[in-house]
Amino acid sequence: MSRLQHVRIARSETIGRVLRLDDIETIGVSSQTLAEEALAEGHKLLALNLVRYYHTEMRIMHNIMRTWIQDTIRYIGVKSGAADSPATQAAAGIMRTFDQYPFGEGERDQTLAAIERDDVEQAHFWLERMRLAFLNVHDVLVVWMQNLLTFIATEYHEPAVLETILHTHQDIWGDRYAAWDQMTPWEKVALTVEGMRGGHFSGMRRRGDVIVEDQGDRFMVAFDPCGSGGVMRRGDPETGRQPVATKPHGVNEEPHLWAWGKTGVHWYCSHCAIAMEWLPGQKRGYLLRPLDHTLDHHAPCPWYIYKEDRLIRDYHYPRTGQTNPVHRAAPQSQDE
């Protein structure tokens, strides 16, 4: 029986747009791979929908990366003495091309046209071209972000990295996860996987292959490698490109609670500690989406989506200087 029966592209009313809400059997499979399988099995409509969705996946993450870079450039401008308004305007001007350039649109349209005329060979060709149209730019944006954070840590000292992540948090993670507490656990998995699948091109083939497991109290979503920080640290398994050099000052040299209390964390990767553990713990009590970060660049990177916040395991909390709210002592009344 075909695994395509598990694919479900549907509108999530919670987040207000279309999302792949597949069963666990296919949620971690690249949209590109599933589109190719749909073509092979003669499911033309599904193939068309998967191609359109794949382009959307990639465009969403492209927009997130360019927004993060724009906000960081603005931060550097303000930190260097510029007023906020001209710094904002200059940063937007620098990034304008990344807004206006039609990344992958011609390739998407060529793929759709080939599918419509039943030209499977050309559909595969243009689908791969669409992936590469985003992938090559994506990898440059990731390294650009790493280098901007390295510059900030060098010029303004390491705590400035936290400051700039907080400076851009709402535009990136705050908006994307605004409805998190209203989402079902599986919607949370689907949104998480979307970002790391077609968004960040995870997996050895750089197509967006993600490991997803139901572990009872939680879902584990793991990347081998993560297509952004993981490829930057490990090197690109698809092309053989070497890891990005970290000297000088490309990793933290002082331990910080917002970097899991470790040293040697790439500046790019520090945003995971801040946005998924440290800051949510400060603001909502519970962590958002804890992960088991490791300094072993060749190890998979597992993230966890707990089915209820109260089930988040104790071991996640101390590394960002927090305690599990479930075990916090209730305040004593004046009569006690």
Residue-wise pLDDT for 157-189, tens only, equals 999 999 999 999 989 888 899 999 999 999 999
Confidence at residue 335, expressed as pLDDT on a 0 to 100 scale: 42
Residue 8 within any structural domain of the chain: yes
| Domain assignment of residue 335, yes or no | no
In a domain, 224, yes or no: yes
**333 is a domain residue:** no
Question: Per residue in 235-249, pLDDT tens?
Answer: 999 999 999 999 899
Q: Locate tokens 């395509």: which residue? A: 4
Q: Do the Cβ atoms of 256 and 160 come closer than 8 Å? A: no
Task: Using alpha carbons, list the distances in angstroms from residue 165 to 171, 191, 325.
Answer: 10, 21, 25
In a domain, 60, yes or no: yes
Number of domains in the chain: 1
In a domain, 24, yes or no: yes
Contacts of 299 (CB under 8 A, 6+ apart): none
Q: Categorize the per-residue pLDDT at 329 as very low, low, confident or very high, splitting at 50, 70 and 90.
A: low
Give the integer Cα–Cα distance in Å for 113 and 20: 23
**Does a structural domain hold residue 332?**
no
pLDDT in tens, 80-136: 999 999 999 999 999 999 989 999 999 999 999 999 999 999 999 999 999 999 999
DSSP summary character for residue 305: E
Asked whether residue 267 is domain-assigned, the answer is yes
Residue 318 has pLDDT above 90, yes or no: yes
pLDDT in tens, 35-67: 999 999 999 999 999 999 999 999 999 999 999
Output the pLDDT for position 327: 85
Predicted pLDDT of residue 332: 44
Average pLDDT, the chain: 95
What does the DSSP assignment read for 108-157?
HHHHHHHHHTT-HHHHHHHHHHHHHHHHHHHHHHHHHHHHHHHHHHHHH-
The answer to whether 232 touches 136, Cβ cutoff 8 Å, is no
| Tokens matching residue 293 | 């970060």
The pTM of the full predicted model, rounded to 2 decimals, is 0.95
Residue-range definition of the domain harbouring residue 138: 3-327
